[in-house]
Amino acid sequence: MKREDLYNAITDLKDDQILAGEAPLKQKTQFKRSRWLVGLAAALALIVGAAAILPGVLAPKPKDEHLSTNVSPNTPNGPISGTNVLADHPALKLCNLSAAQYPSDLPALTDFVTREELRQDPNLYAGALQKQQEALHASLPAEAPGAEMTSFLNATIPQILSDEDGENRIYSPLSLYLALSMLSETVEGQGRSELLALLGQNDLDTLRAQCASLWLTNYADNELVTSILGNSLWLRKGTNYNKDTLERLARYYYADSFSGEMGSEDYDRAIAEWIDARTGNLLHDQASALKTDPGTVLRLLSTIYLKANWQSPFDEEITDTFHSPQGDKEVTFLTELTEDATLYSAPGFSAVGKTLMGEGQMLFLLPDEGVRAEDLLQSPEALAFLSSLAGREAADKRNGPLTLSVPQFDVSSELDLIDNMQKLGVQTIFRAGAADFSPIAPENEDLSVSRIEQDARVKIDRFGCEAAAFTVVDMTEGFLDPNGLVNFTLDRPFVFAITNAAGLPLFVGVVNQP
Amino acid sequence: MAVEDHSIIELYFQRSERAIDETAAKYGSYCGTVARNVLTVQEDAEECVNDTWLAAWNDIPPSRPTCLRAYLGRLTRNLAISRWRFSHAARRYSGMETLLSELEDCLPSQNDVERELEREALSAVLRAWVGGLGEDDRALFVRRYWYGVSVKQLSAEAGRTQNATAQRLWKLRRSLKTRLEQEGLFL
């Protein structure tokens, strides 16, 4: 064996190993040790059981190196890079009917800051992001989204997260909104009217502009934040579909259309791989369990994936007791002391926000003693707080030193949403033959929606958070003393939300068992 | 906006020369960095990158790379190492090296199949060893020995002293050597 053989063997490392070495090395993490922490050592000692400093690992563990590279934060960035990853997938190449029509010449983050500048100074991100968002909005045909989604958020959050089963529940309003919007393109008459009413829109034109705006303003794939949305339609081979509708879905919702044998293992696997590629493999098990059957005429899918580090990591990890409905449990808590934190308080709860790279936030809402997390989500004050920046402004605010203790969690849930949709006034589409699905399948008269399901997973550690959700729709035939330190310890069921820079909640959840 | 990889690959398959333009536009900077870190001379690196485009043109089809970025990086690195070896050999080829090189042909060579199997085993062991490293060590090893990033640069990136970085690299090399020896692979 010669020296050159070793050179060559290094050249032949795996694709993911090569790509993993492209980005600059991470700075060694410096623990924040403020004078406050020293002064409050005695207070902290009350809750420190055993300190366990573990490295946070949030990187997705992809099973397929080819697919994973496209959701890596280190891929070339731009508002919509990496979206068509599966177009060359052997199982899909044969059946891709209509490819998403991504807009060209959109402003990218790198138009306003170079990657090198960002590496040198992450604080430049916020300014560049603002300029990019302004440029994006200037290029959009309709006003920026916000108010229009409030009614949808206020209706769906209490309805969907109200179950009293003591389980964790996670809901992505944005993913459901996009899935239902695509669905409204496929149906006419009463079916569409009910959907538009829930979506808070008067007509399809406004809805299209709204969805395009939501899609573009929430798409980021750069050095600091990965936030990827994806839409697709899965058609049944042999069924006739309205090509105009497929093209509208490709143009306004950036949805790829595929065709294949419903009920076949290959098609189910292709669908699962499409989901994996757009959700960082975070929902691999759930996607793999998703099956079609020969009676499925159409499947709509909408995905969302978010991965971002905290602007500053938590200081420490400690072990302490979480009081879950199922009994007390020893869990790892992430703790930090902030000298000037904002504590929000409103009837029934108090809350703290932790800022993510890219100006998004994770909000932690702790219900008052005696108030259940599910009940909190029925209160207008909590909903207003979760739904928008304006709602947060309305809450009482106090600033001062605060110790935040959050259980490290990795929670997932599977929500069957048909019953919820019916309670929210969407009914016609679920009755066979009652709704007019001619805009998508003109020759099938006996169609109904047989499944609306959302699978989601959110995990946090010392360094950041990672979250993903997919919504599948199947259509078939037949809260502070300003002078003192506040301990904000989420040691009982709580509510969280992950919001984007504009304050829109991308994920809302109830954690009963971290 | 950059063209998607699959579209670029399709251009190769269509034998459209736009394939090279799009590849150069999207990956010129990346391949240039890989080449410069091996060759250090700008002109050589530029020629090497041009060789990469030609090599890709000749290889696709029939090859259909699953990850175009890593594929082009690998091509560039191979070509850069060949070019480096050639230029060094040219400088040496005046005395003893020439004589030894000529006589080397007289030595019984290792069986080609046997050597190829050994190379494959080396490649597999190296991939597994790199795969088993922690995230930070893996990034450090690949950046140093695949991308050729300087110890000074790596130290700045990680916020460490150069001495600490060099020591870490030495430990990694020692670990690799042990692993290769365990697998019966001796250089």
pLDDT tens digits, residue range A155-180?
Answer: 999 999 887 677 889 999 999 999 99
Q: Does A18 touch chain B (CB under 8 A)?
A: yes
Amino acid A105: pLDDT: 59
CA distance B64 to chain A (A): 10
Nearest to A498 by CA among A333, A336, A359, A379: A359
* Contact across the interface for B139 and A104, Cβ inside 8 Å: no
* Contact across the interface for A13 and B122, Cβ inside 8 Å: no
Q: Which residues contact A71 (CB under 8 A, 6 or more apart)?
A: A60, A82, A85, A221, A226, A228, A277, A278, A279, A280, A305
DSSP-derived pairing of the beta strands A255-260 and A96-98: antiparallel
* Contact across the interface for A13 and B69, Cβ inside 8 Å: no
Q: Does A118 touch chain B (CB under 8 A)?
A: no
Amino acid A180: pLDDT: 96
Which residues, listed in sequence order, are joined to residue A258 by a DSSP beta bridge?
A: A96, A234
Q: Which residues contact B3 (CB under 8 A, 6 or more apart)?
A: B22, B25, B26
Mean pLDDT of A392-407: 87
Does pLDDT of B18 surpass 70?
yes
| Nearest CB partner across the interface for B154, out of A25, A78, A81 | A25
Could you tell me the two tokens for A342? 């904002």
Report ipTM for this prediction.
0.78
Q: What percent of chain A has pLDDT over 70?
A: 77
Does pLDDT of A336 surpass 80?
yes
Amino acid A506: pLDDT: 86
- CA atoms lying within 13 Å on the CB side of residue A435: 31
Rounded to whole angstroms, the Cα distance separating A24 from A20 reads 10
CA distance B177 to chain A (A): 11
Q: Does B98 touch chain A (CB under 8 A)?
A: no
From chain A, the residues in CB contact with B177 under 8 A are: none
| Residue range A457-471, pLDDT digits in tens | 999 999 899 999 999
Q: Does B154 touch chain A (CB under 8 A)?
A: yes
Rounded to whole angstroms, the Cα distance separating A41 from A47 reads 10
| Nearest CB partner across the interface for A9, out of B126, B142, B143 | B126
Nearest to A178 by CA among A228, A128, A111: A228
Amino acid A179: pLDDT: 96
Could you tell me the two tokens for A217? 């303003």
* Mean pLDDT lowest among A75-84, A489-498, B139-148: A75-84
* Contact across the interface for A20 and B142, Cβ inside 8 Å: yes
* Mean pLDDT lowest among A126-130, A250-254, A313-317, A458-462: A126-130
Amino acid A163: pLDDT: 73
Amino acid A303: pLDDT: 95
CA distance A199 to chain B (A): 32
* Contact across the interface for A25 and B77, Cβ inside 8 Å: no
Taking one residue from A and the other from B, the number of pairs with CB-CB distance under 8 angstroms is: 123
CA distance B74 to chain A (A): 6
CA distance B172 to chain A (A): 14
| Residue range A46-95, pLDDT digits in tens | 222 222 222 222 222 223 322 222 222 222 233 233 333 344 444 444 34
* Contact across the interface for B186 and A4, Cβ inside 8 Å: no
- CA atoms lying within 13 Å on the CB side of residue A215: 30
CA distance A495 to chain B (A): 32
Q: What is the residue-averaged pLDDT of chain B?
A: 82
CA distance A227 to chain B (A): 18
Does pLDDT of A402 surpass 80?
yes
CA distance A70 to chain B (A): 9
H helices present in A53-93, as ranges: 65-68, 90-93
From chain B, the residues in CB contact with A3 under 8 A are: 187
Could you tell me the two tokens for A427? 């009914």
Other residues' Cβ atoms within 10 Å of the Cβ of residue A262 = 24
* Contact across the interface for A19 and B70, Cβ inside 8 Å: yes
| Residue of A2, A4, A15 to mutate when probing chain B, most B C-beta within 10 A | A15
Amino acid A42: pLDDT: 28
Q: Does A1 touch chain B (CB under 8 A)?
A: yes
Does pLDDT of B64 surpass 50?
yes
CB A285 within 8 Å of CB A302: no
From chain B, the residues in CB contact with A120 under 8 A are: none
Q: Of B131 and A454, which is predicted with more confidence?
A: A454
Amino acid A186: pLDDT: 94
Q: Which residue has the tokens 């078939």?
A: A476
* Cα A350 to chain centroid, rounded: 24
* Contact across the interface for B67 and A104, Cβ inside 8 Å: no
Q: Does B184 touch chain A (CB under 8 A)?
A: no
Is A239 exposed, middle or buried (CB count within 10 Å of its CB: 0-12, 13-18, 19+)?
Answer: middle
Q: Which residues contact B72 (CB under 8 A, 6 or more apart)?
A: B23, B27, B30, B31, B52, B56
Mean pLDDT of A370-387: 88
Does pLDDT of A190 surpass 90?
yes
Residue numbers of A between 453 and 482 with CB closer than 8 Å to B = none
Helix (H) or strand (E) holding A413: strand A410-416
* Mean pLDDT lowest among A14-18, A54-58, A294-298: A54-58
Identify the band that residue A473 occupies on the pLDDT scale cut at 50, 70 and 90.
very high
Nearest to A421 by CA among A150, A151, A176: A176
| Nearest CB partner across the interface for B67, out of A8, A23, A69 | A69
> What phi and psi, each to the nearest 5 degrees, are found at residue A261?
-85, 105
Rounded to whole angstroms, the Cα distance separating A202 from B100 reads 85
From chain A, the residues in CB contact with B160 under 8 A are: 28
* Contact across the interface for A87 and B4, Cβ inside 8 Å: yes
In the chain, the amino acid numbered A456 is A
> What phi and psi, each to the nearest 5 degrees, are found at residue A226?
-115, 120
Identify the band that residue A28 occupies on the pLDDT scale cut at 50, 70 and 90.
low
> If you measure CA to CA, which chain B residue comes closest to A106?
B1
Is B40 exposed, middle or buried (CB count within 10 Å of its CB: 0-12, 13-18, 19+)?
Answer: exposed
Amino acid A458: pLDDT: 95
CB A19 within 8 Å of CB A74: yes
Q: Of B108 and A130, which is predicted with more confidence?
A: A130
Which residues, listed in sequence order, are joined to residue A322 by a DSSP beta bridge?
A: A329
CB A407 within 8 Å of CB A333: yes
Query: Which residue spans within A237-380 are E strands per DSSP?
Result: 255-260, 296-309, 316-324, 327-346, 349-355, 361-367
Query: Which residue spans within A18-94 are E strands per DSSP?
Result: none
Query: Given CA atoms A312, A318, A323, A327 in this order, what sign does their dihedral have?
Result: positive
| Residue range B92-130, pLDDT digits in tens | 555 555 555 556 556 555 556 666 777 788 888 899 999
Q: Does A25 touch chain B (CB under 8 A)?
A: yes
Nearest to A226 by CA among A510, A506, A414: A506
From chain B, the residues in CB contact with A72 under 8 A are: none
Q: Of A5 and B92, which is predicted with more confidence?
A: A5
| Residue of A2, A7, A10, A63 to mutate when probing chain B, most B C-beta within 10 A | A10
- Domains of chain B: residue spans and CATH: 5-88 (1.10.1740.10), 113-182 (1.10.10.10)
Amino acid A46: pLDDT: 25
Query: Given CA atoms B57, B62, B64, B65 in this order, what sign does their dihedral have?
Result: negative
